[in-house]
Chains A and B, each alone.
Chain A
Amino acid sequence: MRYRFAASFWIIAGFALGAESTKVLPKGVRNINLKSVGVSLSEKTNSVGQPMELGAALEKDLTFQQIMSGESEGRAKEIEAFLIANGMSADDVAGTFTADLRGKLQVNAAIVSYGLNDTFTVAVAAPYYRAATDVSVGFVQKPAGQKFVTHLADPHHNQAASAADAAWKFNHAAEGLNNKLEKLGYARLGAWEASGWGDLTVASKKRFYQVGAISSAWTSGVVAPTGRVDDPNILTDVAFGDGQWDVFGQIAVDEQLNPRLFLNQYAKVTVQLAGQRNVRAVTSSEQLDVPTKRADFDLGDKVEWGTSLNYETAWGLTAIFGGNASHKQADVYRDTSGERLAVLEQDTEQTATQVEMGCGYSTVGMYQRGKTPVPFEVKGTWLRQIQSQNSPIAHAAIVDLNLFF
């Protein structure tokens, strides 16, 4: 039933440092890059790339077997016997939960860079998240539910109180679900909102090649687990961090096609180191009434690549058009005894392809020509996801402000 928001990964990937270009800061120059990213989420893709409602994971049939699972063994057998006696089965569906889950994410990141020399720049990025989700859960009756109640109320079965109780529970199933969640230690389903710092990134970029129109740079760094991780007891929360260290390396190549236009290409590999955190040990048959366990996990490594055409006029107007793709390997979860938690690993291999377009204004060129005393850049970018697997469908709007001093 649990839905895992992994939005942070996709939104931050690739832009945290503006690392896709080979540009570095001149020696002694400082740069603050302020980014603001807004994302609304209501859909995701499944393992074959088909879009589905974000709340689909919550949309489950309620079978009598599930109802009985909350009872003692003896009571459960009595219920099953009653079902059989009336031509029904424990697998009959009493009703179906429906859900609408929506999320919104706002990330404001500050990336501070400093040019150690003319080819080497170091940077620190600290994203600040504000996230909210809201979920509405409903319940659609199935004929078996009414049939069950009708049989209970049959004077020949003489279960009037049980009939009234069952009817009330079916008619308040969503409330019942929330009560059950609460009883099991989960947060009730509803509006959730949080804010806080995400994972801190420290990186360095070395432009190691620049001959003619072609330049190349290598970026490497680490991501520290400073952001809040996913709470296993909140089914609709958003993680601001992975909970473990990442190490990444990226190579970028820029080719100046003419004085105003250059082509950027990059490839990045992120190795996600192993970590440990609390998880709910869900199984294929039971996704709620499961214990919380300490688990070793190893999130799948990521590979990203992309290309873009960048245009800049003499008076500072900029435009960009490009695309990127990414792939993350499946996660691995094991409990402390070494047993795999297979259900947690399901549908964790992710891919995504985005097109990017944007425009902006930069005074850097003019500053270099002595035309303006303040070098800065401002840019707006629209990222549109055109394909993905096991990922939220996240179209992002990004506002960038680069200040140099």
Chain B
Amino acid sequence: MNFRNTFRIFIVMTAVGCGFVAPQAIEQNHDQNVAVPANEQEWTLLRTPFSTTLRGSTVFWAHDSAPEDMAVVVNASRNIRAAKGATVRWQQETLLPLQQQLLGVSAKIAEVQANENIRLSSVRREMTANWVEMRLKQALDAGVIVQSEFDDAMSVFSRYCEAKIWEFAASRAGADRFTIAQWSERPTPSQVCEGVYRRLGLLLPEANSCRDGQSNFMACIMNEGVAKTSLFRGNYENRIAGDVRSKAELLSSWIDSGTWSYLLQASNPERTKVATSLLKQTQPKPALFCRDFNTPSENLQTYCSIFVPDSGEPTDLPNSALDKMSPRFLISQLEDLSLSIGANEGGLAIAEHALLIAAARQDESKRILVKEIRELISAFGKRDSLAASMSDVLFNPVREVSALGVVKGVELRLAVPSVADIMRAGAGDEQKVLADLRLSQVELRAKIESAKSKLAEFDLAWTSALQAGAEAATKEGVSQAFAPKTELSLEFDGGILAVKWAISDKGDPIFSGCAGEGCGDGIASSVVEYDEVNHTLNFAIDASRLEASLVSLTTSGPRTDGFSLIRRELLEAAAGDVTIQLGRVSNEIIAGGTLVIEPEAGQEIRASMSLMQY
């Protein structure tokens, strides 16, 4: 065998080696088990325009800070967010639902009440409108009063009702509402008087200016009310020159031109002059209908003044003197229950036998009758100062509930037996529903008060957490600077997210930039990178601008308020990188982040920030 053959054999053996099969390792398990908890992750920030400012603090870690000390700050920061979250959660999950429930119950009450009022309205209206005459007839039938007393009482009552028209025309409750056309039907000066108005032909619904749906019932009140009262006719009608037709036309023209309203509501000398000229009255006196007229303001006078003849406040006038009484005086006499009709008291100055008052001084039955009538009249018709009357609230349908003035002493008025009788008239199951709803309303209000107290506790816990965080962050050796007035402003509109970041409330923001297509106009330093999946913002800052803010920190107060030990020369010409993580606690946006400045290779200034909405 020669060498060549041997070599061939070697080649063959090498070829055997070519059958070499590489080993295959057993595939190892790759756990994919670590999962990010899904809570609070699925939210979208840039969906609709919004603007918010997050506030908080930034701690610049000391180079030699111990992780254990830093952990205290991390924990404090977490506690702040937790406390804030608890506060917001309490607001959103407890207080707000209660408040919404209360709104719902209140709305339900209003709805039920409104429905009930509509249902009962006609019944009560009718009862109220005829109550005084009905009560007097009952007394007449029962022999408590005689026919002459009945007639006199009705006469006084009719004058009162006419005076209520004057009052309504002059009162703010009337004038304001006329101006803004709040009434959907012709308002009544007092529902108690509606029977009288029908009988005297005043404010009749058949009159054009008094029909439902008028945009302004001023003409109705003036033309079909004031102008037709005996008070007007007795004092003014004869003073206007010309025949009846021309007088009517003149009145009509005054109404159309607003002169009527102008005159009736004016009290300044210029208007007085005009009124004197027109009415040919030498010295008309304004009579104030407002009860609170001792110190009338100019505005109050404007609304409460009306030119009427006023014979002063006679204390002992004959019945025939009714024509001479001013509307205000007459109204006071009947509505002001403080004016007693006691046997030995002379305070009630109405005519001797008007509305049985003189007789009532000697007769207990008549006294009771007069008391009942005056209580009813007062309860429904009395307007204190600028307030509305109960008649306004119950019987004057307005387009907006809020347009009604406040009614004073509702409980007392409703407690008047005759009023209570009227209010109960026709009441059914709805009252039970209303009672239950009102009970719920009371309970909810109590719960809301309790929830607000608890909210105050949460607020206190949050404030304490903020304080603890500041103390931990400013502990010596932990930080080299602390910026307690860090702000991050975010504004999203038109597809662009504008970002401003500052660590001091003095001077311009350290960073002002934006994210989104077309933002920044190619200026690299103002561009923000926004990761909409993880809700992170990243931008670069010029550290020299940070330096300026740190200067303001140094001078802003003690260490706990803000301090800086950072060697500022390190910041010159250095760049910083800011990464901000946006998140949510109880649906409120919060932010945390880091600032990293590398003034020299291998040397870092690191800061952490925590921000939230407050």
Contacts and interface: CB of A to CB of B under 8 A. Distances in A.
Interface of A: 30, 32, 34, 36, 40-42, 55, 72-75, 77-78, 80-85, 95, 98-104, 106, 108, 110, 128, 130, 132-141, 145-146, 149-150, 153-164, 166-167, 170-174, 191, 193, 374, 376, 399, 401, 403, 405
Interface stretch (B2-10, B206-214, B359-367, B421-429): B2-10
A100 B26 contact: yes
B531 interface: yes
Nearest to B18: A130
Contacts of A154: 37, 78
A55 to B, nearest CB: 8
B82 A34 contact: no
A149 B34 contact: yes
Interface in B464-481: none
Q: Counting chain A CB atoms within 10 Å of each CB, which of B26, B68, B70 scores highest?
A: B26
Interface stretch (B158-166, B255-263, B400-408, B582-590): B582-590
Interface string B68-87: 11111111001001100100
Contact of A160 (B9, B69, B581, B608): B581
Contact of A138 (B17, B29, B73): B29
B536 interface: yes
Given A75-B606, A81-B74, A134-B23, A167 B81 contact: no
A160 B534 contact: yes
Given A73-B604, A128-B14, A81 B67 contact: yes
23 contacts: A36-B13, A40-B23, A81-B70, A81-B74, A98-B28, A98-B29, A100-B26, A100-B27, A102-B23, A104-B23, A128-B14, A133-B23, A139-B31, A149-B36, A153-B36, A153-B39, A155-B585, A156-B81, A157-B78, A158-B81, A161-B535, A403-B1, A405-B6
Q: Counting chain A CB atoms within 10 Å of each CB, which of B27, B34, B61, B65 scores highest?
A: B34
Contacts of B215: none
Contacts of A146: 33-35
Contacts of B67: 77, 80-81, 84
A309 B71 CA distance: 73
A103 B82 CA distance: 55
Contacts of A191: 22
Nearest to B26: A100
B608 A78 contact: yes
Given A78-B70, A160-B40, A166-B34, 17 more contacts: A32-B3, A36-B17, A78-B594, A81-B68, A81-B71, A84-B74, A85-B78, A134-B23, A138-B27, A146-B35, A155-B584, A156-B81, A158-B585, A160-B583, A163-B36, A167-B34, A405-B2
B591 interface: yes
B590 A134 contact: no
A158 B35 contact: no
A233 B575 CA distance: 36
A245 B416 CA distance: 125
Contacts of A42: 23
Contacts of B531: 161
A174 B29 CA distance: 10
A405 B25 contact: no
A130 B37 contact: no
